């Protein structure tokens, strides 16, 4: 057993502990409390002193594409969404398997350096995973499903994923399903993915309501994205009547607990439908990606009012400068200075943990939780601890995953 001491411990679900400590045994937290009390109760435990730091749960990135880390700076902002999609598709064709492996490894290292201990990664090339060493941070690999041109056999995908993780007990995390977006995945594919996610208890995520071009395509049956996809041979008969969200709900294509990335648009009709299902879905907002595309303000207050938890994600380096959740919290707070720092911190800890179906296991420090924590420099008084963490601009001094220094 190891007793990790810090100037301040922020368990998040319970009050902060001055001169606090976390007792770790194996991969779990065994106790959280005052350092003196825990040392007296567990005299045999080794002590690691993290000094003048705040010790808090490891951060959880709720939306990321590790495949595209090498595209940092490659696509200039100010492109329309469909032009950006075209550009990323062109870039993808120029990259080799080795480039993608380098991209994934570099992305994982960058996440870890900035205190992310769990990532929800959308994976376009799951076949490359056999060539990867076990990631040091907890990683959920969401199989990205697109069927504009090819049929996808969901059962084969699920069976392959289950076998993969059975054979790799040292991989922390798991597998999920991600029909890409309603403009690239058919309603049948969504339904197959929903069914498989429910049957095997896998998390499910999708992109939804991301761009005004997607909105125009579904509601008006027009616009650049409509033209682009019609040109690729997509069946456009679902366009011109209602939002994509309305189509998905009408087709019962989203499982309860679906993690919906972006959700930048919400009509009064959408609101009325969602008001009947408060809290059913988890929403993910990507502040820097949002700024990159110069979008209108994210409807945060609407989602809160409807009872949906909002998490933060980085999205990928194809539309972001990095994979740093502190940077995301700071961008979010600049746009919404009235949202308390403690609430912003929940968006990278407790909310995404709940979205993964692991509340109390991840994103919190409590007895029985996974021992994933980080230590951030701290000099100020206790009242400012949340503020100090959210405004932190240096890599955490310590990053521990599953009871071990990562």
* Minimum gap (Å) between residue 114 Cβ and Zn ion: 19
- Extract the tokens encoding 98: 């080795």
* Minimum gap (Å) between residue 138 Cβ and Zn ion: 19
Phi/psi at 5 (5° precision): -100, 145
CA distance 327 to 287: 9
* Minimum gap (Å) between residue 323 Cβ and Zn ion: 12
* Minimum gap (Å) between residue 210 Cβ and Zn ion: 8
**CB distance 20 to 39 below 8 Å:** no
* Minimum gap (Å) between residue 65 Cβ and Zn ion: 6
Number of residues that bind Zn ion (CB under 5 A): 1
Tell me whether residue 55 or residue 356 sits nearer to Zn ion (CB atom). 356
Tell me whether residue 61 or residue 392 sits nearer to Zn ion (CB atom). 61
Tell me whether residue 315 or residue 364 sits nearer to Zn ion (CB atom). 315
Tell me whether residue 22 or residue 286 sits nearer to Zn ion (CB atom). 286
**CB distance 182 to 236 below 8 Å:** no
* Minimum gap (Å) between residue 139 Cβ and Zn ion: 16
* Minimum gap (Å) between residue 234 Cβ and Zn ion: 19
Q: By rule CB under 5 A, what string of x and - marks binding of each residue 300-319 to Zn ion?
A: ---------------x----
Tell me whether residue 212 or residue 315 sits nearer to Zn ion (CB atom). 315
Tell me whether residue 13 or residue 95 sits nearer to Zn ion (CB atom). 95
CA distance 124 to 96: 13
Beta bridge partners of 23: 3, 31
Phi/psi at 155 (5° precision): -60, -40
Of 211-250, binders to Zn ion (CB under 5 A) are none
Alpha-carbon 354 to chain mean position = 11
Of 101-130, binders to Zn ion (CB under 5 A) are none
DSSP tag of 130: G
CA distances from 270 to 188, 246, 276 (A): 22, 7, 10
- Extract the tokens encoding 145: 């499903």
- Extract the tokens encoding 388: 């100090």
Tell me whether residue 238 or residue 315 sits nearer to Zn ion (CB atom). 315
**CB distance 374 to 59 below 8 Å:** yes
- Extract the tokens encoding 28: 């779990």
CA distances from 229 to 13, 195, 218, 391 (A): 46, 27, 12, 41
Tell me whether residue 324 or residue 392 sits nearer to Zn ion (CB atom). 324
* Minimum gap (Å) between residue 122 Cβ and Zn ion: 6
User: In the block, which residue shows the tokens 């880390």?
Assistant: 69
* Minimum gap (Å) between residue 319 Cβ and Zn ion: 8
Tell me whether residue 214 or residue 315 sits nearer to Zn ion (CB atom). 315
Instruction: Annotate 309-324 with b (16+ C-beta within 10 A) or e (fewer).
Output: bbbbbbbbbbbbebbb
Give the residue at shortest CB distance from Zn ion.
315
Show Cβ contacts of residue 277 under 8 Å, excluding neighbours closer than 6 positions.
Answer: none
Helix (H, G, I), strand (E, B) or coil at 331: helix
CA distance 285 to 306: 16
* Minimum gap (Å) between residue 88 Cβ and Zn ion: 11
Tell me whether residue 123 or residue 315 sits nearer to Zn ion (CB atom). 315
User: In the block, which residue shows the tokens 């456009």?
Assistant: 236
Name the residues that contact Zn ion, by CB under 5 A. 315
């Amino acid at each position: 057993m190891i007793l990790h001491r810090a100037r301040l411990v922020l368990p998040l679900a319970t009050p902060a502990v001055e001169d606090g400590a976390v007792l770790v045994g194996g991969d779990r937290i065994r106790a959280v409390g005052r350092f003196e009390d825990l040392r007296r109760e567990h005299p045999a435990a080794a002590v690691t002193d993290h000094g003048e730091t705040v010790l808090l749960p490891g951060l959880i990135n709720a939306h990321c594409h590790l495949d595209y880390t090498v595209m940092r700076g490659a696509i200039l902002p100010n492109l329309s969404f469909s032009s950006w999609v075209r550009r990323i598709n062109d870039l993808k064709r120029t990259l080799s398997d080795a480039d993608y492996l380098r991209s994934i490894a570099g992305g994982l290292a960058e996440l870890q350096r900035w205190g992310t201990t769990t990532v929800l990664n959308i994976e376009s090339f799951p076949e490359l995973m056999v060539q990867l060493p076990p990631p040091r941070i907890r990683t959920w690999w969401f199989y990205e499903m697109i069927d504009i041109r090819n049929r996808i056999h969901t059962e084969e995908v699920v069976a392959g994923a289950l076998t993969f993780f059975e054979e790799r007990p040292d991989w922390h995390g798991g597998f999920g399903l991600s029909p890409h977006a309603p403009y690239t995945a058919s309603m049948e594919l969504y339904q197959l993915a929903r069914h498989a996610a429910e049957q095997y208890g896998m998390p499910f995520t999708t992109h939804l309501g991301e761009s005004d071009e997607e909105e125009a395509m579904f509601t008006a049956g027009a616009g650049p994205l409509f033209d682009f996809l019609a040109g690729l041979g997509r069946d456009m008969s679902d366009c011109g009547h209602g939002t994509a969200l309305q189509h998905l709900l009408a087709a019962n294509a989203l499982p309860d607990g679906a993690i919906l990335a972006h959700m930048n648009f919400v009509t009064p009709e959408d609101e009325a439908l969602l008001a009947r299902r408060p809290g059913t879905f988890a929403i993910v907002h990507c502040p820097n990606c949002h700024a990159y595309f110069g979008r209108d303000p994210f409807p945060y207050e609407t989602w809160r009012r409807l009872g949906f938890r909002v998490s933060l994600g980085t999205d990928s380096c194809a539309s972001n400068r990095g994979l740093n959740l502190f940077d995301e919290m700071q961008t979010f707070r600049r746009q919404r200075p009235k949202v308390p720092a403690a609430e912003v911190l929940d968006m990278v800890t407790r909310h995404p943990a709940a979205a993964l179906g692991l509340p109390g296991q991840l994103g919190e420090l409590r007895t029985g939780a996974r021992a994933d924590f980080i230590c951030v420099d701290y000099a100020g008084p206790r009242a400012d601890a949340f503020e100090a963490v959210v405004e932190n601009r240096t890599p955490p001094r310590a990053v521990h995953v599953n009871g071990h220094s990562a």
